[in-house]
Homo-oligomer: A and B are copies of this chain.
């Protein structure tokens, strides 16, 4: 029987770790459940002691778990696998532990469909001018036809980035018969071909040529403010800009100026500064739909996180390859 330290904190029960998921984990080995580490006077020390006592081969972690430092890692000579139920592992395992060879997995592409779903909703809402009409109706007006509603059917859609979220977005776009292209220099041709997406080599052209542009790029130093005044100036009249990725990809000042012209409509879920400053000029613009970073996995998605972790634990125990492994390279790229 493999020894498993279940170090997921109380606030993840029963949403992430449902009773069924916990029962499934218990079938895989000898489980020590420590959902109380966060409440300890010194969670880090409590974690080291818990690992020393349980001597696990596997630790299962989630939002709120302590950090697996080198000291914690060495507290069990058998520790070989950390199965993390959520996304970013940076706060949950130190880089040197990962570099020492510990196997670490996370939720991988699990939440991609919910982010893609938000991108679709924001695209459709922009095309239908929801941000304009909601305010008009709140103010006692009616104004049917005040803004020109448009349909997504047959539109050209440009994807800035073609990672897992953008790939899911392409699947959701399927019924709309869109003409889809993407700028993603490192994405292999096979992915483009499989999805039926055209490669766009030039970022400025991606923004200039499409009715809808949706951002799915990662937050790298190179991408900081890569969407600048020049790129925004090229966008078509009536075009739609959706950002569910990271705020700093766009030069906010340039975006505000472009939006003030009133020729494009935007839906923004992410911002350079979050929470968005109360006096941000983005607030209240009739051609801008704002959401407070809600495109990520919705709460009802949490049971899938636990089930995904359970599937990986089952693979590990069966001697199969674990999926969604966090390599040092991925660790360094995590935003």
Interface residues of A (CB under 8 A from B): 113-114, 117-118, 120-121, 124-125, 127-131, 133-138, 140-144, 146, 148-153, 171-172, 174-176, 274-276, 278-279, 283-284, 289-294, 297-301
Q: Are A117 and B278 in contact (CB under 8 A)?
A: no
- A134-B290, A291-B133 given as contacts; is B152 within 8 A of A117 (CB)? yes
With contacts A121-B130, A137-B276 known, what are 6 further pairs, Cβ within 8 A? Answer: A121-B125, A125-B130, A128-B298, A130-B289, A138-B290, A142-B275
Q: Are A144 and B292 in contact (CB under 8 A)?
A: yes
**Which chain B positions have C-beta within 8 A of A146?**
292
In the assembled complex, the Cα of A138 lies from the Cα of B129 at a distance in Å of 16
**Which chain B positions have C-beta within 8 A of A298?**
127-128, 148-151
In the assembled complex, the Cα of A138 lies from the Cα of B135 at a distance in Å of 10
In the assembled complex, the Cα of A201 lies from the Cα of B232 at a distance in Å of 53
A276: nearest chain-B partner, CB-CB: B142
Tell me, rounded to whole Å, the shortest Cβ–Cβ distance linking A250 to chain B: 17
In the assembled complex, the Cα of A156 lies from the Cα of B32 at a distance in Å of 37
Tell me, rounded to whole Å, the shortest Cβ–Cβ distance linking A289 to chain B: 7
Closest 8 CB pairs of A and B: A142-B275, A121-B124, A140-B278, A144-B292, A137-B290, A149-B298, A151-B298, A150-B300
Q: Are B291 and A128 in contact (CB under 8 A)?
A: yes
Query: Looking at the complex, which one of B118, B284, B299 makes contact with A138 (CB distance below 8 Å)?
Result: B284
Query: Looking at the complex, which one of B118, B137, B151, B276 makes contact with A128 (CB distance below 8 Å)?
Result: B118
- A124-B124, A131-B134 given as contacts; is B292 within 8 A of A117 (CB)? no
Q: Are A153 and B114 in contact (CB under 8 A)?
A: yes
In the assembled complex, the Cα of A175 lies from the Cα of B71 at a distance in Å of 46
A268: nearest chain-B partner, CB-CB: B137
In the assembled complex, the Cα of A142 lies from the Cα of B276 at a distance in Å of 7
- A124-B124, A276-B142 given as contacts; is B137 within 8 A of A292 (CB)? yes
Q: Are B292 and A143 in contact (CB under 8 A)?
A: yes
In the assembled complex, the Cα of A150 lies from the Cα of B175 at a distance in Å of 22
Tell me, rounded to whole Å, the shortest Cβ–Cβ distance linking A131 to chain B: 7
In the assembled complex, the Cα of A191 lies from the Cα of B131 at a distance in Å of 36
**Which chain B positions have C-beta within 8 A of A131?**
134
Q: Are A130 and B171 in contact (CB under 8 A)?
A: no
Query: Looking at the complex, which one of B138, B175, B293 makes contact with A283 (CB distance below 8 Å)?
Result: B138
A172: nearest chain-B partner, CB-CB: B175
Query: Looking at the complex, which one of B128, B175, B292 makes contact with A142 (CB distance below 8 Å)?
Result: B292
Tell me, rounded to whole Å, the shortest Cβ–Cβ distance linking A325 to chain B: 25
